[in-house]
Structure 1
Amino acid sequence: MAATGELLKKMQSEITCSICRGYFCEPVTIGCGHSFCRACLSSSWGVRAQVFSCPECRQVSQDGEIPLVNRHLAQLTELGKELGSKLLQSTEGQSQCVTHKKLFKLFCEEDQTALCVTCGEAPEHGAHKISPVQEAAHKHRRELQHIRSLLGNHLEEDEQLLAQEEKLAGDWHWMMEEQYCQTHFFLMKEESRFLERLKRDQKASQDRLSQHIQSLQDLRQELQEAGQQANLDLLQDAKQLLGRSKAVLAQRAKSVTPELKECPIPGLIQMLNRFRVDLTLDLRSATSYVTISGDLKSAKAGAGWQLGTKHPEDYTYPYAFAEQAFSSGSQYWEVDVTQLPQWILGIHTPYLRRKRARNVDSCASVFLLQCVKKQEYHYLQTYPGSLNHQMKGPLPRIGVYLQYSSGTLGFYNVLQRSLIYKFYSIPFTAPVKPIFGPGPPLPGTKPGPMTLCAVDSHLCTCCHLSQ
């Protein structure tokens, strides 16, 4: 028995895969003479390998293809497994049931236990499936072999999928890089196109203003000369001269006050939305001039608020303050002003560094964008700053972006995705509070609310036009 065991052990070493340490499954033999399971070799080489070498002796193979199954070795493997099974049976035969002193010849599938013949006839196993040990072992070996073969196939397929994923990832990386390049190029073209248009518009505005100045100078000269005419001559030309004077003066507002430029920037609002914050109004800032809603999300002008003589910088000006204050980072919020013909938006900071910077008055404690309506025109003005432009119509929603570290404050036309005005290098030294002025209301009109937009609220042209 010992000699047979040694012989079988030697035979098993010849039919065992050195990778998985199990019997060969679909054995293949490579150029150096060593054999492996087909799935094991495929996994070892991998679909990404640049050099194909033997997993055992490391000899490099010139051919990276997996060889065909070695049928002779497969038959030898089956023979070795059968001999091993018989030897195992003879060994198992030496085991006996402790209760009945008989050999284990049966196997209970339900309880997964070995039984002698007497145990198999016991009532507790009457409804169980009982098979001879050899038959049960053979059945389980076949099932395990099948699962092992499936695992090998799945492993090979998954290796191929991994290679495809890596290739797709590389392709996707290239495609996205190329798409970003196209987007950058598009934005550069849009920037160049708009700056060129802005230059033309500025030139046209300057020419229009120069022509208006020339018209005023010519008219003043004519009026001066007319004043020196004889009475009858003066009376003959007076009606025509007065009419022309009224026409020239009527053109002044259009010639002198520039129109706010709109430059839609693709992706602008989406970028700003990354810094969106949820603001609420401070109920303590409510006065007889400004009332605040119960949900702290809107403010309305009180009945007593009229445009007085107070300067916008005055801390007691009718503002509603946000409950939140900021002393770092970047924040962005949007305000719905659809129902307001006049309004004020901005920030308040109690202290500033004594520093003069571009577009910044070092004594200012508020930085504002104000909408004023005069007759049929709307005008946007900043304090401090030089913006005083007229608009084609009212704005439905204003975006405000604050970057504390750089001292930047920007105002945006959300619907048109364009910049209105930006303050630079504000020397903050203390927390900044957003402020809201829902007025002053126009005489004889019912004031509407100024509403803080929810963080997940977005505005697009189609939504606004459908309202």
Structure 2
Amino acid sequence: MEAAVEMLQKMQTAVTCNICRNYFSEPVTLHCGHSFCRECLSSCWRAATQALSCPECRQVPQSEALSPVNERLAQLTDLVKRFSSQVLQSTKGQSQCTLHGKVFKLFCEQDQTPLCVGCCETAEHGGHRISPVGEAAPRYRQQLQNMQRNLEKRFEEAKSLLAQQSLEYWRRMITEEYFTLEDLLIEEESICIERIRQEQGARRDRLTQHRQTLREFELKLQEAGNRLDLDLLQDAKQLLERSESELSQRATTIIPELREYPIPGLIEMLNQFRVDMILDPTSATYVSVSEDLRSVTATEAWEALQNPEKNYYHGVFAKQTFSSGRYYWEVDVSQVPQWALGVFPSYYRRKGGRDTDCYNNLFLLICTKKEDGYYIRTYCGSLNHRLKDPIPRVGVYLEYSIRSLAFYNVLQCSLIYKVHLISFTALVRPFFCPGPPLPGTKPGPMTLCPVDSHLCACCVSSE
């Protein structure tokens, strides 16, 4: 019997998978001769971080495709299972109770000991759960096999987690994410460029039609001027009314609407350069600064000014000055229908209460309110557009090294205008103008947004 048990152990080894340590299930054999369960080998290869190889000898297979099931090895595995069951049944007769001289056919679940029929009649095991050996052994064997599989899974998880701790794994994973992000941005860029191309084409068509209409009407006016007096008088009123109509359409035809082209992740990227800025009350002209030095409001003295065009150069400067680096700040302009933002690329001086620096050194983004809507333009720049809706918050990004200044619509995550300022000298100072206020209205504040404040569509109404 011992020889049979030894032979059984050798046969069991031959039909055991070295990955799951159980009998083969759909065994496949690699070219190197080693065999594994089909699912075990597939899982092992899926988790591999390097070239696929035999889990036992590490030889690289000729093909990465799994081989067909080895039917002969599968049949041999079934034979070993049956033979193993027969050997186990035959070895049970060798164990018997020394006290009663009977074979152990029962098992005490509580004491975890084999029993014969005579043992069950004693008071020692009274009330205990007693099961036939033929039922208890397969149940415990199944529990042990389940536990073995669970331990194997935990082992593979630990192996996978250990592999993930390598710097190479994280480098590759992060690189893949950047490539994915790059692909997404390239796709978004293509869509945006195509949209701009179509809108430019439509605007070109409108301007061409507008020009043609003006030319035709100009010829009619010339023709009318050559008519006899009575003929001229009959059509004069109609021609004048049409002239007024054509002239009134000029603004909407010539001045384009400022389009919004959202750039995913733009504001999040700029926020890494966010600077906590405060105002310098000593530099204020025709405005008042709040106690926390974050808000500025136009005063009543503003209404007495004579030159409305110069009104956009009254305001206040920030306390901070910049001569290098990158800086980003946001300004809440939801309470001011007209405003100006920008930088003053020079040292700011005051003499007798008046500025002595030249206005030409300023660069401003200016918003103006008119009867038919809002208009936005730049001082020292080419922007001159209408706004579909007011902009509640403006982001300003200064990159001193390349002499550039950019303005953003924070809510729409889109660029308003960007200019490269080659006239930067020593210091650059941010500038804020909360006006001029509209006649008959109470001036509202322009506010510097704290570093930790963020704007979304749901909070615009409360801004």
Please indicate the TM-score interval, normalised by the length of the shorter structure.
0.5 to 0.7
**Counterpart AA for 1:218:** E
**3-state DSSP of counterpart to 1:339:** coil
Residues in 1 aligned to 2:218 and 2:174: alpha-carbon distance in whole angstroms? 64
The 3 A distance-change label for structure 1 pair 465 and 162 is farther
Query: When the two structures are aligned, how many residues end up with a matched partner?
Result: 305
Is contact 1:351-1:365 (8 Å) kept?
no
Map of 1:338 onto structure 2: 334
Shift of 1:194: 1.1
**3-state DSSP of counterpart to 2:235:** helix
Map of 1:161 onto structure 2: 158
Map of 2:419 onto structure 1: 423
Residues in 1 aligned to 2:423 and 2:328: alpha-carbon distance in whole angstroms? 19
Map of 1:226 onto structure 2: 224
Map of 1:246 onto structure 2: 244
**3-state DSSP of counterpart to 2:270:** helix
Residues in 2 aligned to 1:159 and 1:192: alpha-carbon distance in whole angstroms? 44
Residue 433, structure 1, aligned to residue 429, structure 2: yes
Within 5 Å, give how 1:35-434 maps onto structure 2. Answer: 161=158, 164-167=161-164, 173-287=171-285, 289-306=286-303, 308-309=306-307, 317-350=313-346, 364-434=360-430
Residues in 1 aligned to 2:301 and 2:222: alpha-carbon distance in whole angstroms? 48
1:254-306: CA deviations, max 9, x gaps? Answer: 1110111211000000010000000110121134x110001101000011114
Q: What TM-score do you get using the length of structure 1 for normalisation?
A: 0.60
Is contact 1:300-1:450 (8 Å) kept?
yes
1:17-41: CA deviations, max 9, x gaps? Answer: xxxxxxxxxxxxxxxxxxxxxxxxx
Is contact 1:351-1:428 (8 Å) kept?
no
The 3 A distance-change label for structure 1 pair 417 and 308 is farther
1:375-397: CA deviations, max 9, x gaps? Answer: 13111111101111110121100
Q: What TM-score do you get using the length of structure 2 for normalisation?
A: 0.61
Residues in 2 aligned to 1:195 and 1:158: alpha-carbon distance in whole angstroms? 52
**Counterpart AA for 1:181:** F
The 3 A distance-change label for structure 1 pair 158 and 292 is farther
The 3 A distance-change label for structure 1 pair 160 and 243 is closer
The 3 A distance-change label for structure 1 pair 63 and 268 is closer
Residues in 2 aligned to 1:158 and 1:311: alpha-carbon distance in whole angstroms? 76
Listed as ranges, the gaps of 5+ residues in structure 1 are: 1-47, 51-61, 65-156, 353-361
Give RMSD over aligned pairs. 3.0
**3-state DSSP of counterpart to 1:372:** strand
Is contact 1:313-1:365 (8 Å) kept?
no
Shift of 1:246: 2.5
Residues in 2 aligned to 1:372 and 1:345: alpha-carbon distance in whole angstroms? 12
Residues in 2 aligned to 1:435 and 1:63: alpha-carbon distance in whole angstroms? 72
**Counterpart AA for 2:200:** Q
1:69-124: CA deviations, max 9, x gaps? Answer: xxxxxxxxxxxxxxxxxxxxxxxxxxxxxxxxxxxxxxxxxxxxxxxxxxxxxxxx
Residues in 1 aligned to 2:229 and 2:386: alpha-carbon distance in whole angstroms? 43
% identical equivalent positions: 54
